[in-house]
Amino acid sequence: MRYKRVCLLVAVALISLSAAAQEGVWLPRYSPDNSGVSPASIKLPASLRWKYTIADADNAEAVAMPAVGADTVYVPLGPVMYALDRSSGALRWQQEVGAEIYSSPALSDDTLYFGSRDGNLWALDAESGSVDWRYPMGAPVDCAPVIVAGVAYFGSDSNRLVALDLETRQPLWQFETAGDIKATPLIYRDVIIVGSQDRHIYCLDHQGRQKWSKTVAERAFFAAPTGERKKVIYACGKEVIARDIYTGRRLWRFKTAGIVTGAPCVEGRMIYVGTQGGAVYGINAGNGRALWKYPPEGVTDPISSSPVVVGNLIVFRAGARQVIAISLQGEHEWSYTLPPAPEKKKEAAPAAGGHEMVPGGDMPLEPGAMEEMPGAMPGEPPAEAGGGPGAAQPQIPAGEEAGPGGQPTTRQVTQRTYKFEDDVDSAVAVSDNTLYVLGDDAIVYALDTYAADNVPPTIAEPLLEVPGKGRVRMTFAPNLADEDDFPDRYADEVAVPGTPPIFVSVICTDEGSGINPDKVKVTLNGQEAEFRYDAKAGILWYMYDPRGAAANLPNGVTRLLFEATDWRGNRAAKVVSFTVDNKLPPPAPPKPKQPQGMQGEPGMGMEGMEAMPPEEVPPGEPPR
């Protein structure tokens, strides 16, 4: 009888709490229905309040997102849970659990719940970090728990979904699948939805009995499903699918051009989802049509974490270092580039006036190739299997593709293997005007609306690159002058011929509020010049590469003013100047120096040694 009473109470709680966050509870997707909508508010821009570097975490994967309590941020990395003071970032406590933590923690009644690859669900005292208890699952627990009315719902690599009574620490029920359960389950109204690596999504009632199941395209079911009215929205592989939550009938399907490993967000009648192809889509929840794509042209870095909706913004991570906020209409509002880890900082440039051989390489002149939109964009019908209802399609055997006339042609198929820890990144946690980010550099960042930022950006590491002898790209490191300094102060230190292509670049960084990409500028000899800016790398560069008939830069001093302004309005400006002399021959790389005491030694091969043949660089190819 007690079991039935508990199940009845849970069922009532599911209906009443599925659409709203529970008081005093922090869930990785902010609500039991995995909406991805934070109840907090934030005003942008935000500035860096503090950062905390986690020591001895070189090989740790940043997969789980932080959890936020009243005065503490809980950050899982490697086999350790860290508790940091929300105001200062100071370490309050740390607790090692013996194996990596890929499960995002949940917080309820001053207890922190999370899974570990040691095969346990852990319960820690949120104030002290001491271990309250552990529940063994017999296999790694990467799935984040969802807590509703004193019951934790979570899965593991033991293929089981468990409804665990947190008071008795006994399971109310268990449901077994044929594959690992990585994705956070959906608790919506009076049903539970769970995806498994057995290529199925399951719907259960409040007693853990199966109502329906459907096949999914990939085993990589990492993204938490979410509820929207009477629909379940889930992503797996390159598909976002909506089904009737009670019958399992498919309502629509949207196909992306990139794998989706982050959970969709649902706000109002819209679905927001990011892809590893580097795009965010705004999809109509009613018919599955994409109303917009960000960025409209090209792509950003891969989006492997779940976005979050806060107020009228969508906040997400792109690649290893970018935090981006866009409006609910897909317009860019703010971005912040996380600083590189100290051990990954760029090496010092050569001394002023020196030069070195730089092998040819590619600098990303464009943000990226345009990501295809095979799904339904404005004015197009939703994508359906087989080209839509009634569309006759030839059956193409596995490992083949259609050739001319629809006939199959053999091709090589590479089967990609997905791993949870490799394909999922830590999401941004939002609470009370602050963003908490666990970077891939094992540093925790707190970006706060009200944090002070009176420091302008830094402009450094200037590089001048010109064609050299034998079509080798030669690199010089001119000095930087302040804007109000003598403008030609260092011009005579570097003299080069004006033969194109010529590239001059600087590195722009700002740890405060981030550099506003709309407020960077390059001026050539007092006139505004065309330039490129790579926000994710922080590279601002001017390129002289006239098309058609080659025209050298004129003799005399060339002066470039580089400007960068952060989101708080702090401006920095630096001048790079050099001398153009078109009578000079193309610069040549220096011959390697012979080690002391080795000249003429038999068998060493050093006598008369010449520089190695340099790699040729086609004219106009950008620098690395």
- Rounded CA gap, 434 and 46, in Å? 8
Looking from the CA of 179 toward its CB, the CA atoms found within 13 Å total: 18
3-state helix/strand/coil string of 99-166: CCCCCCCEEECCEEEEECCCCEEEEEECCCCCEEEEEECCCCCCCCCEEECCEEEEECCCCEEEEEEC
CATH architecture classification, 458-580: Sandwich (2.60)
Query: Quick one: tokens of 144?
Result: 């984040």
Residue 591 CB: number of other CB atoms within 10 A? 9
Domain ranges of the chain: 2-373+421-448, 458-580
- Rounded CA gap, 406 and 400, in Å? 11
Cβ atoms of 201 and 176 within 8 Å: the answer is no
| Exposure string over 12-39, b if 16+ CB within 10 A, otherwise e | ebbeebbeebbeebbbbbbbbbbbbbbe
- Rounded CA gap, 171 and 166, in Å? 9
SS3 307: coil
- Rounded CA gap, 132 and 57, in Å? 26
Amino acid identity, residue 31?
Answer: S
Report the pLDDT value the prediction gives residue 343, as an integer from 0 to 100: 54
Strands 434-438, 429-431: pairing kind: antiparallel
| Exposure string over 277-298, b if 16+ CB within 10 A, otherwise e | bbbbbbbbbeebbbebbbbeee
Q: Give, rounded to a whole angstrom, the gap between the first and last alpha carbons of the chain.
A: 70
Cβ atoms of 225 and 248 within 8 Å: the answer is no
Stretches where the chain sits below pLDDT 70 are 1-23, 340-416, 548-550, 593-624
Amino acid identity, residue 95?
Answer: Q
Query: Quick one: tokens of 198?
Result: 């057995």
Closest CA to 52 of 92, 16, 99: 92
Kindly state the helix (H) or strand (E) to which residue 319 belongs, with its residue range: none
Cβ atoms of 308 and 30 within 8 Å: the answer is yes
- Rounded CA gap, 235 and 307, in Å? 13
pLDDT in tens, 39-74: 999 999 999 999 999 988 878 999 999 999 999 999
Taking CA atoms, 347 is separated from 342, 344, 372, 474, in Å, by 11, 9, 37, 17
pLDDT in tens, 274-289: 999 999 999 999 999 9
**Residue 428 CB burial class (10 angstroms; 0-12, 13-18, ≥19):** buried
**Residue 333 CB burial class (10 angstroms; 0-12, 13-18, ≥19):** middle
User: Is the preceding peptide bond at 295 cis, omega within 30 degrees of 0?
Assistant: yes
Looking at CATH, the fold of the domain delimited by 2-373+421-448 is given as: Methylamine Dehydrogenase; Chain H (2.130.10)
- Rounded CA gap, 252 and 244, in Å? 10
Strands 67-68, 72-77: pairing kind: antiparallel
Cβ atoms of 435 and 446 within 8 Å: the answer is yes
Cβ atoms of 373 and 304 within 8 Å: the answer is no
Report the pLDDT value the prediction gives residue 415, as an integer from 0 to 100: 57
Report the pLDDT value the prediction gives residue 83, as an integer from 0 to 100: 98
Sign of torsion, CA 120 125 130 133? negative
- Rounded CA gap, 441 and 432, in Å? 25
- Rounded CA gap, 235 and 201, in Å? 11
Cβ atoms of 537 and 571 within 8 Å: the answer is no
Report the pLDDT value the prediction gives residue 418, as an integer from 0 to 100: 84
